[in-house]
Amino acid sequence: MKNLILFLFALPVVCVALGQTEFISDPYTLSIKKKVEPPILDFVPGSLQFVDADGNHAINANEQCFLKFKLQNSGVGDGLNLKALVKISGTTAGIAVATATSLSTCKKGASMDYKIPITASQNTANGKIVVSLEIDEPNGFNTPTMQLEIDTKVFQSPDVKVVDYVVFSNNGSTNLELRKPFSLQLLVQNTGQGVAKNVTVRLPVPNNVFMQSGDELNTIGTLQPGETRSVEYEFILNTKFEGNTLPLVATVHESYGMYAENWSQSFMLNQALAAERMVITSQEDEEQDIQIASLRSDVDKDIPTGIASKQNRYALIIGNEDYSSKQPGLEKEVNVDFAANDARVFAEYAEKVLGYPKENIRLLTDATKGTMSQGVDWLVKKAQAQGDAEIIFYYSGHGLPEEVSKEPYLIPVDVSGTQVQNGLSLITVYELLAQSTAQKCVVVLDACFSGGARNKELTALKGVKVKASVDEVPGNILVLASSSGTQSSAVYKEKQHGYFTYFLLKNLKENKGQNTIESTMTEVTKNVRLKALDISKEQTPQALPGLDINSSWKELKW
């Protein structure tokens, strides 16, 4: 406060008449001080809080946060020209906060709320910071210093991608063809540990393809780690569409422009369509356990680890699905729905559940006669070189009998049903495998050999009824066949597998390949027979042991 100082001087006064002189006393000062009415400021107990955008109570990289507090003025004067003084220490990389922030007036007897922003850049590191906060009052009536300890989190990137897809029909169509609508469902997931914001999916269509429902640009918005979102489109191809394949490309984008993966896929005309869309429940998972979502069957995902990998194990796995596009004039109804998926998923089980090293597995889809022959030759030579090899031969596709001898043949996609003898003789395959001297040989066939004329009413079946002739299985081979006698092998469209393959994989998944082969076949046979009755069919899988093993196969394990 300023002092008011008065200077008083004694001046001589001369009285002429009296002949007397008077003097005034010495000068002195008078100090007047202004009355001080200070504010008394305190933090309201419990009001100092840290507020973050995602509510995890930590400062994440690239996050906008706040210090929030309330001041109470119990003094006799207003709190004017206040400033919040902030100091931070600890893991301060990437953290920014103003060291002095002007605050609005806190009037006497009142309480006021305040916020101070804290920003974090992408350079934020894992650790902790200590925040010290004090309110500065110009006359020195500052608050006590308060401190908060706050965790800081390193940048975690999102990873947005199309993790699965399915093509399906809403109108009963069984194949992808011109002038018939079909739908595409994409499953988009954030498989990273960071939040994905402003996620979009753009899917332009090629010439002569028309989008009947859905949008070329889909705005998904925010995806939490592990969260999924399904996007659907309906298309139709006009008669001017050229080529045998439909290429589709989806551009996936998120706010950083760095952490999304585009998707592309080509679809064969006349390929089988799923019966319906798949229903997905979105779920946010813990950081260390994000599960990749799927539109596929229950047996196609979450495949467990089973038998330990063994280097002496070799597998040849074939799935022949698309015959019509390889043979002009062949009706598309003869395609073997989902045979390629049968093979692909069985190969995963061979590796993860049955202990076949990935480098020892040869997977062939839509294989020609030459490719199939080379595959069998590879398997036999591997077994012969190994000496104590254990081998699996898996086949899903068409099988047909030769017209006169009724000898069964595996039919490559480039071999006509009218020239069965140009296929791969199943008996010859058995003989070659028996000569390989493998100590264990299992043949799995999701095919029937009752072929003959193709029938449009049998779109969902893998053959028609003429009994093939298989007198004996040679050597130590164990054959696991999907059907018996003149039966056909049905397709489980909802699960996108043959009945036999689906229930075989289901058993392997539930038991992690630890069962004996006999117990597996007992369960699979029961389930296939029951399911086939739902569509008024008979299908009974069977085990056919070779001459050298007879009943001892019942003790055989996978």
Select from 202, 198, 200, 201 the least CA-distant residue to 222: 198
The domain spanning residue 464 has which CATH number?
A: 3.40.50.1460
Cα(78)–Cα(332) distance, rounded to whole angstroms?
A: 87
Structural domain contains residue 14: no
Residues 6+ apart with CB under 8 A from 467: 401, 406, 450, 485, 486
Query: Tokens 């100590």 correspond to what residue?
Result: 439
Q: How confident is the model at residue 276 (pLDDT cuts 50, 70, 90)?
A: low
| Nearest Cα residue to 139 out of 4, 42, 36 | 36
Selected residue with higher pLDDT from 293 and 129: 129
Give the pLDDT of residue 64.
94
Is residue 325 in a domain? yes
- Residue 52 CB neighbour total at 10 angstroms: 18
Instruction: Tell whether 317 and 434 lie within a shared domain.
Output: yes
* Whether pLDDT at 469 is above 60: no
Identify whether residues 130 and 181 lie together within a single domain: no
Q: What mean pLDDT value characterizes the chain?
A: 86
HEC assignment per residue over 307-343: CCCCCCEEEEEEECCCCCCCCCCCCHHHCCCCHHHHH
Residue 233: which domain range?
Answer: 160-268
pLDDT at 517: 97
With respect to residue 306, please indicate whether it lies within any of the assigned structural domains: no
Query: pLDDT per residue over 518-542, tens digit each?
Result: 999 999 999 999 999 998 889 999 9
Q: What average pLDDT score do residues 456-483 get?
A: 64
- Average pLDDT of 441-450? 87
pLDDT band at 73 (very low <50, low <70, confident <90, very high): very high
Do 180 and 101 lie in a common domain?
A: no
| Tokens 């949008």 sit on residue | 215
d(CA 281, CA 230): 10
Distance CA 413, CA 322 (A): 7
Q: Give yes or no: residues 263 and 392 share one domain.
A: no
Look at residue 511 and tell me if it is in a domain: yes
DSSP-derived secondary structure for 125-141: -SEEEEEEEEEE-TTS-
CB atoms within 10 A of CB 295: 22
The pLDDT value recorded for residue 293 is 60
pLDDT reading at 470 higher than 80? no
Helices 517-533 and 499-511: crossing angle in degrees, nearest 10, is 140
Q: Is the pLDDT of residue 453 over 90?
A: no
State residue 33's pLDDT score.
Answer: 60
In DSSP notation, 55-95 reads SSSEEETT-EEEEEEEEEE-SSS-B-SEEEEEEEEES-TTE
Final residue belonging to a domain, choices 153, 176, 197: 153
For residue 168, the domain's CATH number is: 2.60.40.10
Name the nearest CA neighbour of 106 among 134, 75, 129. Answer: 75
Q: Are residues 326 and 358 in the same domain?
A: yes
Query: What pLDDT, on a 0 to 100 scale, did the predictor assign at position 297?
Result: 84
Domain annotation covers residue 304: no
Which of 122, 153, 184 represents a domain boundary (last residue)?
153
Q: Final residue of a domain: which of 112, 130, 153?
A: 153
pLDDT at position 8, please? 45
Question: What does the pLDDT average to over 308-335?
Answer: 87
Residues 49 and 177 in one domain: no
Q: How far apart are alpha carbons 511 and 518 in whole angstroms?
A: 13
Which of 138-152, 320-334, 513-527 has the weakest average pLDDT? 320-334
pLDDT of 302 reads: 86
Please state the φ and ψ torsions of residue 95, each to the nearest 5 degrees: -95, 135
> Do both 395 and 330 map to the same domain?
yes
H helices present in 471-545, as ranges: 499-511, 517-533
CA 284 to chain centre: 11
Q: Is 88 in the same domain as 175? A: no
Instruction: Give the list of residues 6+ apart from residue 439 with CB closer than 8 angstroms, or none.
Output: 388, 389, 390, 476
175 shares its domain with 146? no
The 8-class DSSP code of residue 398 comes to -
Over range 344-371, report the average pLDDT: 95
| Poorest-pLDDT segment among 31-35, 133-137, 344-348, 517-521 | 31-35
Could you tell me if residue 463 is left (phi over 0), alpha (psi between -120 and 50 degrees) or otherwise beta?
Answer: left
Same domain, 170 and 318: no
Flag whether 169 is in a domain: yes
> Which pLDDT value is given to residue 451?
46
455 part of a folded domain: yes
pLDDT band, very low/low/confident/very high, at 458 (cuts 50, 70, 90): very low
Summarised one tens digit per residue, pLDDT across range 231-259 is: 999 999 999 999 889 999 999 999 999 99
Q: Are residues 233 and 351 in the same domain?
A: no
Structural tokens at position 123: 């350079």
The total of structural domains in the chain comes to 3
Sequence-separated (6 or more) residues with CB below 8 Å from residue 258: 157
Domain presence at residue 105: yes
CA distance 507 to 59: 47
Checking if the pLDDT of 471 tops 50, the result is yes
Q: Which tokens is 411 given?
A: 């039919």
pLDDT at 35 exceeding the cut of 80: no
Q: For the ranges 194-208, 412-426, 466-480, 515-529, which has the lowest average pLDDT? A: 466-480
Same domain, 466 and 535: yes
What are the Cα distances from residue 374, in Å, to 21, 59, 443? Answer: 143, 59, 17
Of 74-78, 381-385, 466-470, 486-490, give the lowest mean pLDDT range: 466-470
Sheet with 477-481: list strands edge to edge. Answer: 361-365, 313-319, 390-396, 440-446, 477-481, 542-545
For residues 407 and 412, give the distance between their C-alpha atoms in angstroms, rounded to a whole number: 16
Highest average pLDDT, of 17-26, 212-221, 283-292, comes from: 212-221
